[in-house]
Chains A and B, each alone.
Chain A
Amino acid sequence: MKRVLLLALLVVLALSVAIPAFAQDESLEIYITDMNEATMTWYNEVAIPAFQETHPGVTVEMLTGGWGDFDASVAGWITTGEGPDIVYLGSEYAATFCNLLTDVSPFLTEEDTAPFLPAALETVTCDGAPRGLPLLMSARPIYYRADLAAEGADFVPPTTFEEALAFVAANSAVENGALTKMGFMDIGSSLFDSQEFIAYIWSAGGELYNEDGTSAFDSDATAQALQYMYDRRRTILPTEDTAGLPPIEGAAIASGSVISGIWAMWQLPPVSDPIWDNITIAPYPAGPDGEQVVQVFVDWLSVPSYVENPELAMDFLKFITSQENAVTLSQVAGYTPVRPDAWETLQADPVWSRILDVAAEYGRGFSDIRASAELRPLIVEQATLFLTDQQSLEQTQQNLKEEYDLILEENGYLD
C-alpha cells in the first residue's frame, strides 16, 4: 500500500512537470511597454488575427507594463529563462542586453532590412549582429516659442553654443529670488539630462569612444559640452539658491514661461493645436568644431536568447514592422515610423513634416552607448558636481574618463 501510494504521488508529480512542457505549443507572447488601450485593441482585434491567419496553430498574446518595473521584469525573465518571446526595448538597451538577446541575422534578408533607416538598424545591432527590428522613432529637436522670444521678429534659432547662451540669457528672468521665465528647459524638466550631454559632445564634434574603445571623456569636445551646460545653468539660475519655475500644468511650451526646450512628442500639445504656428523646430547648437545634430531615439522589438522558436518571433516582427502596419501604428498609436516608405501620410501634416525633415537632415541615433545603465548614473553624478560648483572641469573629465574606462573593462568592452 505504502509503495503504491508513493508511486501514485510520484506519477502525479512527474506529470505535473511534463505536461506543461507538452502544453507549450506554438504560441507567442509579446511585451510592449507603455501600450495605450487603442493600441492594445488594434493588436488584439486587427493585427493578431491577421497574423494568426497566415500562421495557423499559432496563438499570440499581448502583454504590457510600465517602464517603472521594466528592469526588474526583464531581469526576472532572463534569470528564469521564461518570459515573452518578443520584448520592447529602448534605444540604449542593445548594448546592455547584448548577450541576452538572439542574433536574428539568420532570419533576415537584405530585402527585409532595406526599408529601415540605417541609424535605426544600427540601434538594434550589437556586436555586429541585429537583435531584433526597429519599431518606432522619436526625434528630439529643440522647440522654440518664436512668438515669445525676446528677439521678436528677428528670432532665428541659435546654431552655436555661443548663440544659444545669448538666447537663453535674453529669454530668462529672475524676480525676487525665483525664476519667472526660462530660456531653456530640458527633457527631464531639469537643467541637465545625461542623454542631452552626450548629444552636445556629438554636436561639439566629439565622440564617446576613442578608436581603441576607451572612453573619450577627456576630449576637448567633452570639455566644451560641459562648459556650455554650466554656462547655460548659470545664465538661467544666477545662484544655486534661486527657486525654479512654479509647477506647470500641461505642456511646458504652452505655459508662456518656458521659451525653448527639448521634449518628447507626448509632452507637447497635439499637432492640431494652433500653438504650433508659433513653434520653431531646430537642431541642437554646435560647438566651434562640430555640427548641429538632433538626437533620435529608436524603440525596437527584440528576441531574447531564451526563446525556443526565434524564427516564429521574427515572422511576427517582420509582419508588425511592415509598411502597412507602420502606417497604421502611426495613426493608432502615434508612433513615428522608422521606415521612410511609411512617411507619406505623416508628411501631409506640416508639424510632422518639419520634425521629420529636421530628423532626416540632422538626426543621429542614440545607439552604441556601451554599459549605458552604468554610464547614466556616472554622468549624472559627475556633471552635477561640476554644475553645482563642487568639482572643477578638469577633475570632472578625469573622473568620467577613468571610471567609465573601468566600467567598460568590467563589462568586457576593452581587452
Chain B
Amino acid sequence: MRILQNRYVTILWLALAAIGSILAANAIANLVVTTTSPVVTAERYRAIIWSVGTIAFIILGSVCVGHIGEAIAGWAKLSRAEQRKVFWGVTFAAPWIIGFVIFVLGPALASLYYSLTDYKLGETPNFIGLENYRILLSGEGAHGRRFGQSMYNSFYYALVGVPLQLITALAMAMLVNQALRGMKLFRLIFYIPVILAGGAAILLAWRYMLASNGGFINVTLQALARSFFATDFLYKGFIFGVEGFNGFYSGLARGDQVGPLIYTLPALIGAVLLFLSARGDWENSKRDRAWLVAEVIGMVLIFMLFVRALITTPVDWGMVLLAGSLAIAGILLNGQRGKRGSLRAWQAFTLIGLLGVLLVILLGDTTLSWEQRLPYIIGAAIIGVPVLFSMIGPWSRAKVYALAGGLVIAVAVLFIRDFGAEFGQRTIVPVVKYVFLGTALEPSADLTWLLESFPQSLASALWLWGAVALLLGGLAIANNRWPRAQRWVAIIGAVVFALIAVGSFLDGVRYFQAIDAASQAAGSPTYHFTLFRNATAAWPGENRVPLWLSSELWSKPSLILITMWSSGAMMLIFLAALKGVSQALYEAAKVDGANRTQRFFKITLPMISPALFYNLVIAIIAALQTFDTIYILQTVDTVDSLQSAVFFLYTRTFRQLAIGQGSGVSWILAGVIVLITVIQFRYSKWVHYEV
C-alpha cells in the first residue's frame, strides 16, 4: 500500500490504465473489423501511437502544472499538507487547463498577433501595427467597405431580427401555455424547426417557399390580400414599409451621406427624454433613466472617438481632446455619485484609450515628425494627468478641481481650434437656423447652400449626442436639488432639441430631393438611396409581390423570417418562465380590477424578465454571428446585402487567405460582442429576480 501513496506511482497507474484501455479498444476493434488493407492497418497503428503519446503528454504536462501550483502554494507559505492538496487539485484540473491553453488561449493569442500583420497564407507575416484595424474600421478600399456593410447587416439582424424573434417566441410560449388537450403536440411542432432550421435541406425548402413567383408564402399573402380590401391595404403597406425601410438602410450601409438627417435622431431622442424628465414629479426612476441613457451614450461616444483617433489618417489630435473631455465628464459624474466600480471602469477605459493613441502616434506611424506628434502628447497629458491623479487615494475635492481643470482646458483648446469655419459654419450655423426654424421657412428651390453644407460632409452628430448625454447626466446629478431650475432646463432643452429635430428632418428631405435631382440630371446615378427613392415613389401596384431572396430589399427580412420560424428554443425558455409565475399574483390583480393588458405588462413581463434577459443576450450574440443560413441562401443578387461580419471573416480568411485581416475582423467582432454584452449586463436593472 505504501507504494500507492507515492504520487508518481498513482499517476503511472492512471497512465497505464488509460493506455491499456486504448490497447483493449484496439484489440476489440481488431476482432470486429478485419482488414488486410495496409493503409487501414498503418492508420490504426498511427492512431494508437498518437493516442498513447497524447496521454503521456497530458500526464507529463499535468504533473508539471501540478508542481507549479505546489510551488506557488509553498511560496504563499501554505503548510506541507495544503501544498499536497494544491498539487493534486491542480494536477487533476491540469488536463483542462492544458487543453484550454493549447486549443483556446494559444490560437487566440496567435490570431491577435496575426491581426497586427499582413499575413497571407503561404507568405511570411510582416508586422504592420494597427493597419488592418484602420482599414476595416475606416472602411478603406474594397475590403474595408465590405466589412462596414457586413457590420451593418449584422446590426440589422440584431436590432430588427432579435426583437421580432423575441416577440414570436413569447407569443408562441403564451399560446402553448394554455391548458388544452394535445398541447404537448403543439409544443413539439413549435420546437421542431429548431432541430431542422440549420439543415441545408430545410433552407432549400425555404428557398422554394420564398420564391417570388409562385412560392407558397407569396401565393398565400396574395390570396389573403385579395380576400378583403383591408388586407389588401395591409399587404401593400407591408411591401411599402419593408422596401422603404430596407432601401434607406441599404443606402446607409453603403456609406451614403444622409445630410441634415444625421441630427434628427439624436435631437428627437434628446427632446423626448428631456420632455419626459420635465413632465410630472421628479422620481428616482427618472434619475436612473436619465443616468442610464447618459452613460450609455457617453460610453459609446468615447469608444467611437477613441477608435476614430486610432484609425483616422492623419490622426486628428482634436479627437484625443474631445474623447478625453467626455471621459473626464464621465469620471466626474461617477465620482460625484460615489459609484466606485463605474469610476474605476471609466478611469481604466480612458487610460487604455490614451495609451492606444500614444502607441499609434509614437510607434505606429513612423512618418510623423516630432512637431506633428507633440500636440498628441500635450493632448494626452491634458487628459491623462488629471485622470491619473484621480486614481490615487479616495475621491476628494482636489480631484474634482483637477479633473474640472483638465476638462476646461481641453474644451477651451477645442473651442479655439475648431470654432472657426470648420465646426462653426458646418455645424453650429445650420443648427442655429433649425432652432429658429430658419431653414424650414426658406424657399425650397434654394438648395445650393444645403448641398454645399453636406458634400460627403465632415459634419458630425457626435457632438449633439454628447449634448444629450451631458444634459441628461446633469439632470441625474442635480437630482431635483433645484426643482424649478431643473424643470426649466429640461423644458427649454426639450423645445430646442424638438426644433432641431423638425428643422433637420425638413432639410433632410430637401437634401434628398436635391441629391436626387442632381443625380437624375447627370443621366445615370451614383446614389445608393436610389432603392429607397424607387421603393417610396409610389404605392405598390396591383401585382406587386415581396421579392424575398431575389432582391436586396427583401433578403434580410427573408433571413429574419426563417430565424423567427426557428425560435422554438427561446419559446421553451419563456414557457418555463411562464410556468413559474405564481397564479396568486394574477388572481390578486384580477381582484384589483386589472385587465389582460395590465396583467401582461405589470405581472407577466416583470416576472419572466430573467428569461427575457437571457434570451436577449443569447439572441444578440447569435445574431451577430449569423453565418450558415447566409452561406446557403445567398445568391449573386443578394450576397452583399446578406453577408454578416462572420461571413465576411470566413470569405477573407478562408477564400482569400488573408489571415491577418481575417484575424482583425474576429477581434473587432469579439470586441463589439463583449461591449454590447457588458452594456446589457450593466444596465439590467429592469430584470426582476425573485429572492
Return the chain B residue nearest A387 by Cβ. Answer: B637
A369 sits at the interface (CB 8 A): no
Q: A381 near B122 (CB under 8 angstroms)?
A: no
Q: Mark B113-133, 1 if CB is under 8 A from A, else 0.
A: 000000011110000000000
Chain B 49-78 interface residues, beta-carbon cutoff 8 Å to A: 49-50, 52-54, 56-57, 59-60
> Any chain A CB within 8 A of the CB of B396?
no
B636 near A384 (CB under 8 angstroms)?
Answer: yes
- B615-643 CB mask vs A (1 if < 8 Å, else 0) is 00000000000000001000111011000
Query: A19 contacts which chain B residues (CB < 8 A)?
Result: 46, 49
Stretch of B281-289, B306-314, B653-661 contacting A (4+ beta carbons < 8 Å): B653-661
Cβ–Cβ contact B212 & A244, under 8 A: yes
**Contact residues of A between 378 and 392, Cβ < 8 Å to B:** 378, 380-381, 384-385, 388-392
Q: Is there an interface contact between A243 and B6, defined as CB atoms closer than 8 Å?
A: no
B315 to A: closest C-beta gap in Å = 22
B651 at the interface (CB under 8 A from A): yes
B526 x A9 contact (CB < 8 A): no
- Contact string against A for B residues 463-475, beta-carbon threshold 8 Å, 1 for contact and 0 otherwise: 0000000000000
- Docked Cα-Cα span, A59 to B37, in Å, equals 9
Minimum CB distance partner of B522 in chain A: A392
Q: State how many residues of chain A have any CB contact under 8 Å with chain B.
A: 69
With a cutoff of 8 Å between Cβ atoms, the chain B residues found around residue A191 in the complex are 637
Question: B214 near A392 (CB under 8 angstroms)?
Answer: no
Residue pair A13, B214 in contact (C-beta under 8 Å): no
Question: Is A243 within 8 A of B640, CB to CB?
Answer: no
**B-contact bits for A237-249, CB 8 A (1 contact / 0 none):** 0001101111100
Judged by a CB distance under 8 angstroms, whether B545 is at the interface is yes
**Docked-complex contact B654 and A247, CB < 8 angstroms:** no
| A16-B49 contact given A1-B8, A10-B60, A388-B531, CB 8 Å threshold | yes
Q: In chain A, what residue has the closest Cβ to B540?
A: A241
A411-B658 Cα distance, complex, nearest whole Å: 10
Task: Enumerate chain B residues within 8 angstroms of A194, measured Cβ to Cβ.
Answer: 636
Main secondary structure of the interface of B (DSSP, over half): helix
Interface readout for A10-25 with B: 1 if CB under 8 Å, 0 if not? 1011011101100101
Q: Which residues of A contact B142 (CB under 8 A)?
A: 374, 377-378, 381, 403, 406-407
User: Which residue of chain A is the closest to B531 with respect to CB atoms?
Assistant: A390
A27 engages B39 (CB within 8 Å): yes
Which of A32-40, A71-79, A141-149, A159-167 contacts its partner?
A: A71-79
State in angstroms the CA–CA spacing of A24 and B657 once bound together: 29
**Closest A residue to B529 using CB positions:** A390
B636 touches A193 (CB 8 A): yes
Closest chain-A Cβ to B557's Cβ sits at a distance in Å of: 15
- Answer whether A244 and B60 are a contact pair too, CB < 8 Å, given A5-B8, A20-B46: no
Q: Which residues of B contact A97 (CB under 8 A)?
A: 122
**Binary interface profile of A, 344-380, with partner B (CB < 8 Å = 1, else 0)?**
0000000000000000000000000001011001101
Q: How many interface contacts (CB-CB < 8 Å) are there between A and B?
A: 171
Q: Which residues of A contact B651 (CB under 8 A)?
A: 377
A100 nearest CB across to chain B (Å): 4
Least CB separation from A246: chain B residue: B214
With a CB–CB cut-off of 8 A, which chain A residues contact B428? none
B516-549: CB near A (< 8 Å → 1, else 0) gives 0000001111111011001000000111110100
Residues A171-209 near B (CB distance < 8 A)? 176-179, 188-194
Q: Within 8 Å of chain B (Cβ to Cβ): is A96? A: yes
In the assembled complex, B186 has its CB within 8 A of some CB on chain A: no
Given A381-B640, A392-B522, residue A240 in contact with residue B551 (CB < 8 A):
yes
Could you list which residues of chain B lie within 8 angstroms of chain A, going by C-beta atoms?
6, 8-9, 11-12, 15, 38-39, 42, 45-46, 49-50, 52-54, 56-57, 59-60, 120-123, 141-142, 146, 207-208, 211-215, 218, 254, 522-528, 530-531, 534, 541-545, 547, 550-552, 631, 635-637, 639-640, 650-651, 653-657
Q: Other than the known A5-B8, A16-B54, what 17 A-B pairs have Cβ atoms closer than 8 Å?
A: A5-B12, A16-B49, A16-B53, A59-B38, A59-B42, A61-B39, A96-B657, A176-B543, A188-B635, A192-B636, A243-B218, A246-B214, A377-B639, A389-B530, A390-B527, A390-B531, A392-B524
Can you identify 23 A-B contacts, CB atoms within 8 angstroms? A12-B56, A13-B56, A16-B52, A19-B49, A20-B46, A71-B655, A177-B544, A179-B213, A241-B547, A243-B213, A243-B218, A245-B213, A247-B207, A373-B657, A378-B142, A380-B640, A384-B640, A390-B254, A390-B525, A390-B528, A390-B531, A391-B526, A403-B142
Q: Which residues of A contact B (CB under 8 A)?
A: 1-2, 5-6, 8-10, 12-13, 15-17, 19-20, 23, 25, 27, 59, 61, 68, 71-72, 75, 78-79, 96-97, 99-100, 176-179, 188-194, 240-241, 243-247, 305, 371, 373-374, 377-378, 380-381, 384-385, 388-395, 403, 406-407, 411
